[in-house]
Structure formats: C-alpha cells, structure tokens
C-alpha cells in the first residue's frame, strides 16, 4: 500500500537488529487516518474469506485490527498478556516468544469470546518471525475455531514469518513488505 510505504520511508527508522521504529504513526503515536486506510485495505483483501471474527494481540495489534474489523462489520478480540479480574478462571492461554521484548509473553483469550466453528481473521501490526501470530493460531485452534486469513501492516520478509505460516494454507497479506534494511535504507518487495 503506497501510503503506508511512503510513511515508512519518510518516518521509519532502522534501529538495527531487525528493529524498525514506527512509533510515530503505528505503535505509540498513531495516525488514525492512516490506520483507517490500512484497515479498509485489509478488509478489502479479506472480504471473501467468510470471517466471523477478527483476532489480534494487545497492544500494537489493536489499532489495525479495530479498523479492519470496523470495515468488515465484525467484532474484534484482542488476546490479553495478563489475565484481568473480569476474565473467568478457565481461559485459553499460550506462550509466544517476543523478539522485541527478549522474553516469552502469555497470550490469553476468554472462551466467552471465541467459540468453536468461528472463522477467524488474524490481524497484527508486524509479521516478523510469525511467533505471535502462531500463538494466536494455537488459541483459535484450542477454541475449535478455524483461521481463514492473516493480515499485517508491515512484513519483515527477512525474518521468515511467511514460511512459518505457510503450513496453515491460508492467505497471508501484508501492506508493506520489507525485504532489506541496511543503515538508513529500507527496501520493499515491489
């Protein structure tokens, strides 16, 4: 998506070790107009997969997932990293290693909001190693739901996430696919 790629080129910063700083418009400060456009585009790409629910992980997945869900007219569930007191004792929980955090995080969903037979579209801000997304896939499967698509804003193609998701056999879409980051240079797939 042209608008997102241009913004990454203009404001994104390669911090080294595969870390792309986009916290001026995606994951600390958010540009709602850009996020709305990204949500609309992801909704367009997944309009025919028959999704019944959008699933993401807190924190930075919330904004793109909310906008995508709005344009699809679907509810969105965000997996929590800490169990709040409003959640029942029996939950779906999985562990996912976080590259940017350097540790393992919990992903927790209440069975109240993910039921067997649901068709789940997973949306997140980044597709890097795919570890967080595979955690969401495990939660969906634990609930007896089916994953029907995976969409992200930014893919870091050099971290192998797309290969890790391939066995799922579902469409994987990213709005900006980065093939290389070297110094100040950020290269996209097309």
**Binding region for a second copy (CB under 8 A):** 15, 19, 21, 23-25, 27-33, 35-36, 58-59, 62-63, 66-67, 69-70, 73-78, 80, 84-87, 100-101, 109-110, 112-113
* Rounded CA Rg of the chain: 16
Q: Kindly tell me which of 34 and 168 has the beta carbon lying closer to a second copy.
A: 34
Q: Where are the alpha helices (DSSP H) in 46-143?
A: 62-72, 131-142
Q: Do the beta carbons of residue 69 and residue 54 sit within 8 Å?
A: yes
Q: Would you state the torsion angle of the CA atoms of residues 17, 39, 34, 156, taken in this order, to the nearest 10 degrees? A: 20
Q: Do the beta carbons of residue 53 and residue 114 sit within 8 Å?
A: yes
Kindly state the smallest distance separating residue 118's Cβ from a second copy, in Å. Answer: 12
DSSP secondary structure code for residue 80 in this structure? B
Per DSSP, what are the bridge partners of residue 172?
150
Kindly state the smallest distance separating residue 167's Cβ from a second copy, in Å. Answer: 28
Kindly state the smallest distance separating residue 172's Cβ from a second copy, in Å. Answer: 23
Kindly state the smallest distance separating residue 124's Cβ from a second copy, in Å. Answer: 14
Q: Kindly tell me which of 75 and 160 has the beta carbon lying closer to a second copy.
A: 75
Q: Would you state the torsion angle of the CA atoms of residues 63, 124, 67, 109, taken in this order, to the nearest 10 degrees? A: -80
Q: Kindly tell me which of 45 and 83 has the beta carbon lying closer to a second copy.
A: 83
Q: Kindly tell me which of 153 and 168 has the beta carbon lying closer to a second copy.
A: 153
Kindly state the smallest distance separating residue 101's Cβ from a second copy, in Å. Answer: 8
Q: Do the beta carbons of residue 77 and residue 113 sit within 8 Å?
A: yes
Q: How far apart are CA 61 and CA 144, in angstroms?
A: 22
Q: What is the SS3 assignment for 107?
A: strand
Q: Kindly tell me which of 168 and 181 has the beta carbon lying closer to a second copy.
A: 181
Kindly state the smallest distance separating residue 33's Cβ from a second copy, in Å. Answer: 7
Q: Kindly tell me which of 159 and 168 has the beta carbon lying closer to a second copy.
A: 159
């Amino acid at each position: 998506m042209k608008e997102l790629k241009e913004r990454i080129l203009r404001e994104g910063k390669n911090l080294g070790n595969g870390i792309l700083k986009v916290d001026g418009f995606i994951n600390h400060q958010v540009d709602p107009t850009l996020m709305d456009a990204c949500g609309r585009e992801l909704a367009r790409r997944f309009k025919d997969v028959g999704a019944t629910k959008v699933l993401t992980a807190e924190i930075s997945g919330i904004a793109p997932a909310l906008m995508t869900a709005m344009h699809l007219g679907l509810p969105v569930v965000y997996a929590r990293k800490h169990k709040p007191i409003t959640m029942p004792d029996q939950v779906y929980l999985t562990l996912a290693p976080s590259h940017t955090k350097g540790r393992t995080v919990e992903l927790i969903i209440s069975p109240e909001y993910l039921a067997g037979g649901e068709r789940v579209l997973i949306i997140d801000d980044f597709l890097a190693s795919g570890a967080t997304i595979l955690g969401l896939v495990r939660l969906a499967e634990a609930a007896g739901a089916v994953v029907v698509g995976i969409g992200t804003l930014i893919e870091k193609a050099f971290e192998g996430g797309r290969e890790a998701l391939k066995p799922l056999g579902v469409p994987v879409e990213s709005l900006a696919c980065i093939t290389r980051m070297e110094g100040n240079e950020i290269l996209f797939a097309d």
